[in-house]
Amino acid sequence: MTVIPRSHPRYRSLLVRAGLSEKMQAGLVVPEGLMAHGRGEAFDYLLGERTSPSAARAERSAAARLWLARRPVVSVNGNVAALASREVASLAKVIPHLRVEVNLFHRTPRRAELVAQELRSAGVREVLGVRPTARLRGLASDRSWVDPEGILRADVVLVPLEDGDRAQALRRAGKFVIAVDLNPLSRTALVADLPIIDELTRALSRLRVEALRLRSASRAVWRREAAAMDGASALREALGTIEERLVKLSKGLARGRSGPYGRAPSTAARGSARPKRRRPPAGARRYRSRPGTSRRP
Ligand code: ATP
């Protein structure tokens, strides 16, 4: 087992990666899941590794949608089970009619059982989709299997880390699709009715907090909160967050300020023609001219 020093600047990220690779050896996560995680991490860098104000609004809107839904389902794959089983269980405790269903791109009976076990040991009482008997139209392969008591009859489906084809098939089947995806350009984010552009564990934790806050509100309040965010705004604002952050960072670097994770690269390393400032010789006095006092012409 790799020992990760707590002092490492990316301690949490390394810990999550080590956990995922252990779960891969146990058969819960597939190798493709590790790549998907890496893609997510890259977008989290761009987003500043925190929930943006627009993601927070999408999370509130999603919580209201789940309260309004008659048959909401959260769909869980290997990565979600490995990273956020506890968060899924806590959300399902707050919203009692939210059902939890296993959904695997690379499905084998053993993997489906492993995902269900992971969810049960985190506190999920009932897990659907372990032996699904219905199919979603328009999807080839094992991805089309769904539970007749779960996704097949659901009106709202929360799909953390879904693939684009399946998200599209769910929409075509008339479901309201809430996706959680750090990549605002993924097909899943683009086709979802409400994409939450945030990291999975942050998003599910905030969804739970918002669901608790809205629990005893009226349907009119739920409707108002649900309508306060739409898919196009969620995507536009997420791209805006990335744009603002990149512009701010690149301006900071151009002025020689430190970058987000420490010192800026040296001028030479950046290939800039800007001359380096010379240090004054030891013992030399420094003068700073005040405005209007310069003797230069
Ligand atoms: P699509 O078919 O939607 O274009 P994709 O091929 O980009 O998807 P997949 O491999 O199906 O990606 O799924 C990975 C997606 O999940 C990526 O878009 C990635 O940004 C996102 N992702 C990975 N880890 C996380 C996480 N922890 N939190 C939120 N999103 C994540």
Domain of residue 126, CATH code = 3.40.50.12640
For the CA atoms of 266, 270, 272, 277, the dihedral, rounded to the nearest 10 degrees, stands at 0
What is the pLDDT, as a whole number, of residue 287? 41
- Does residue 208 sit within a domain? yes
Predicted pLDDT at 266: 58
Whether residue 187 has its Cβ less than 6 Å from ligand 1: yes
Q: 86 in a domain, yes or no?
A: yes
CA 289–ligand 1 middle distance (angstroms)? 55
Between CA 66 and CA 214 the distance in angstroms is 10
pLDDT of residue 295: 41
| Position 43 in a domain | no
How high is the pLDDT of residue 297? 38
Cα Rg of the chain (Å, integer): 24
Atom of ligand 1 nearest to the CA of 32: 10
pLDDT tens, position by position, 123-168: 999 999 999 999 998 888 788 999 999 999 999 999 999 889 999 9
pLDDT number for residue 273 = 47
**CB of 183 closer than 6 A to ligand 1?**
yes
- Give the nearest ligand 1 atom to 105 CA: 11
Ligand 1: atom nearest CA of 188 is 3
Cα dist from 14 to 1, 10, 98, 168, whole Å: 13, 6, 32, 33
Residue 61 CA to ligand 1 center (angstroms) comes to: 21
Q: Does any domain span residue 168?
A: yes
Q: What pLDDT is stored for residue 138 in this prediction?
A: 86
Ligand 1 pocket test: pick from 52, 87, 162, 181 the residue with the most ligand atoms within 8 Å of its Cβ: 181
Q: How many domains does the chain have?
A: 1
Decide: 161 in ligand 1 pocket, CB within 6 A.
yes
184 alpha carbon, distance to own chain's centre: 10
pLDDT at 45: 92
Question: pTM value?
Answer: 0.87
Tokens of 17: 């990666």
Residue 61 phi/psi, 5-degree rounding, is -60, -40
- What is the structure's pLDDT at 20? 96
Tell me whether residue 285 is in a domain: no
Cβ of residue 51 lying under 6 Å from some atom of ligand 1: no
Domain ranges, residue 181: 53-242
184 in any annotated domain? yes
Write down the pLDDT at residue 289: 42
Considering all CA atoms of the chain, what is the largest pairwise distance in Å, rounded to the nearest integer?
88
Below-50 pLDDT ranges, the chain: 268-269, 271-273, 275, 284-297
Q: Is 39 in the pocket of ligand 1 (CB under 6 A)?
A: yes
Q: Is residue 275 part of a domain?
A: no
